[in-house]
Structure 1
C-alpha cells in the first residue's frame, strides 16, 4: 500500500493480488481510498489489473488525485 497527502486529504493506493492459477502470471487489482482525518471520504471500486504491485498502487493514488481535483 502506498500513501500520500494531497489537497488536504490522505490518499491510499491499494494492490490486491489476483492469481487465477499457478501457471498464470501474477496480476494486481488496483483500488484507492481517500480519507480526511479519521473519516473515509471516498473509496474506488476496482480500477483495473496491473502487472506489478507498484503499478496498481500508483493507479489507486492517481485515481485519488483526480477525485480531489474534481471534488476537493
Structure 2
C-alpha cells in the first residue's frame, strides 16, 4: 500500500494589477494544491509557482499544514 504524500512548502508569487508583487508560502501536498489555495486567497490575481522552502525554514516560520501565508 503506498504511503500518502507529505506536506511541502511551496513558494508562490502573486501578481495583482496596480500592486507590488507578493510572495506566499503555501504548505500543501502538491504544487497544484498550493496554486489552487493561493488563487482562492487572492481571487483577482495571477499566481505562479516559483520554488519551495527547506524544512528548517518551515519550522522557523512556524508554518502549519494547509496554510497560505504572505511574506
Global fold match (TM > 0.5): no
Structure holding more strand per residue: 1
Ranked by relative contact order (alpha carbons within 8 Å, sequence separation 6 or more), the top structure is 2
